[in-house]
Amino acid sequence: MLRSITGMNNGLSFMKQMLLSANVRCFSVAAVNRVKEIIVTKDNKKTIIEGILKPSDRVNLLLDPPADTNHEACSICRLDVDIKHTDVLILSQFMRSDGGMLPRRVTGLCRTQQKRMSKLVTMALKAGLMPNLAPANSKRDPARRDKFKKNHRYFDESTIRPPFRMKYPEDRSLH
Amino acid sequence: MRNIFERVKQWNTLTRIWHLYDAKWQDPFDSAKVIQKYLKGLHKPIYHPLADCGDHVVVINCKEIAMRGDEWRKRAYFHHTGYAGGGTYTLAWELHDKNPLMIMKKAVYRSMKGNLQRRYTMERLHLYAEENVPQDIIENISSVIPQLRDVPMRLDRMPEDQVKGYPKIWDLPKDYVVR
Ligand SMILES: [Zn+2]
């Protein structure tokens, strides 16, 4: 009974921002991007290592950038949303399955946003919001932590230094 | 008594309302500032320090409170036994291990001015570590204080199709080896 009264939050603030913002964005089918998969086959006295290209599973889910976008900007500067450390559905797109951050040559972000994203990822991992993205035997699950680390922690994004300039809609006239 | 709304307004003002507050993932010190207003009756138009018009607040999930950044190990609680050398400093996470209600209780107590009324106001605060509240207290509750922060959702507890089907803001490069 108590839960039905008070449990009303789902932490998907990015989704809310996206639905409320003025730009109407839709899904698009872009040119098929491919991702390499390496397959190792072992016969007797013979080991075959082959790399095959297969379509990325993100293709049909890619966001269309806003119509008046600056095409030189990176994928985050293009969106005019303020990403928080609780937006794990966004942050997990920049991570490997073992919880490491992808490098800038892969993510294609600008220097500022890459640094900001990595700090947000650190905050989310410390808060224990992505325990499934972890190597085996890690203590990213708060239930496995001890002392002060087992309690709930939240972070304030304004403490990220240096203060990164966010791109807001009124900035678009400058570009 | 002119109409039905005026009647209900009078009940709401002059009776003691029982409010429910879920402290899950809430900052205890920010929450205390809100809770103490309900305890003292500051939200009522008839408020006066001597009017005794405060409400009851039932706080559940006190064990699941959240603190900002490093505060669990930076905040220390001082206690002195009165004997020489009897002072101790207990870190917030140590105190929370010993008594999950104490941080919330001290936060509300310290958010109020130290006067003769404070101890009586604190009597109207009911703290529970989890969601199990006695039935005779649940029956009184008729109002909910909204939470100050959204409870964050963990990635491993989201539905699989929601994670997979969420819009992606960038695509992996052509020769990236997925792992
Ligand atoms: Zn950028």
Q: Structural domains in chain A?
A: 71-166 (4.10.640.10)
Q: What average pLDDT score do residues B27-47 get?
A: 95
- 3-class SS of residue A68: coil
- At residue A26 the predicted structure's pLDDT band, cuts being 50, 70 and 90, is very low
User: How far does the centroid of ligand 1 lie from the alpha carbon of residue A77, in Å?
Assistant: 4
Alpha-carbon separation of residue B170 from A8, B149, B167 (angstroms): 30, 29, 9
Which burial class, exposed, middle or buried, applies to A162 when counting CB atoms under 10 A from its CB (0-12, 13-18, 19+)?
A: exposed
Q: Domain B5-165 is in which class? A: alpha beta
Q: How far is CA B142 from the centre of its chain?
A: 17
What percent of chain B is predicted at pLDDT more than 70? Answer: 99
Q: What average pLDDT score do residues B39-48 get?
A: 92
The protein residues having their C-beta less than 5 angstroms from ligand 1 (an ion) are A 74, 77, 110, 113
What is the per-residue pLDDT across B64-104, written as a single tens digit (0 to 9) for each?
A: 999 999 999 999 999 999 999 999 999 999 999 999 999 99
Alpha-carbon separation of residue A131 from B20, B23, B67 (angstroms): 31, 23, 19
**How is residue B52 written in tokens?**
């005794």
- Greater pLDDT, A165 or B12: B12
- Model pTM score: 0.79
ipTM of the complex: 0.86
Is residue B145 within 8 A of residue B57, CB to CB? The reply is yes
- At residue B31 the predicted structure's pLDDT band, cuts being 50, 70 and 90, is very high
How far away is chain A from the Cα of B83, in angstroms, using its nearest Cα? 29
Smallest Cα–Cα separation from B56: which of B147, B143, B146, B149? Answer: B143
Q: What average pLDDT score do residues A9-16 get?
A: 44
Pairing, β A152-154 against β A46-55: unpaired
Q: How far is CA B90 from the centre of its chain?
A: 21
Tell me the backbone φ, ψ of residue B123, rounded to 5 degrees.
-65, -20
What is the per-residue pLDDT across A66-107, written as a single tens digit (0 to 9) for each?
A: 666 667 778 888 887 889 999 999 999 999 888 889 999 999
Interface of A with B in 98-157 (CB under 8 A): 98, 106-108, 127-133, 147-148, 151-156
Per-residue model confidence (pLDDT) at position A128: 93
Task: Give yes or no for residue A166 having a pLDDT over 80.
Answer: no
Task: Give yes or no for residue A158 having a pLDDT over 90.
Answer: no
**How is residue A40 written in tokens?**
């190792």
Pairing, β B87-91 against β B76-80: antiparallel
Per-residue model confidence (pLDDT) at position A23: 43
* Domain segments of chain B as ranges: 5-165
Is residue B25 within 8 A of residue A154, CB to CB? The reply is yes
Which residues in chain B are contacts of A153 at CB distance < 8 A?
Answer: 66-69, 72
Residue in B92, B147, B153 nearest the CB of A10? B153
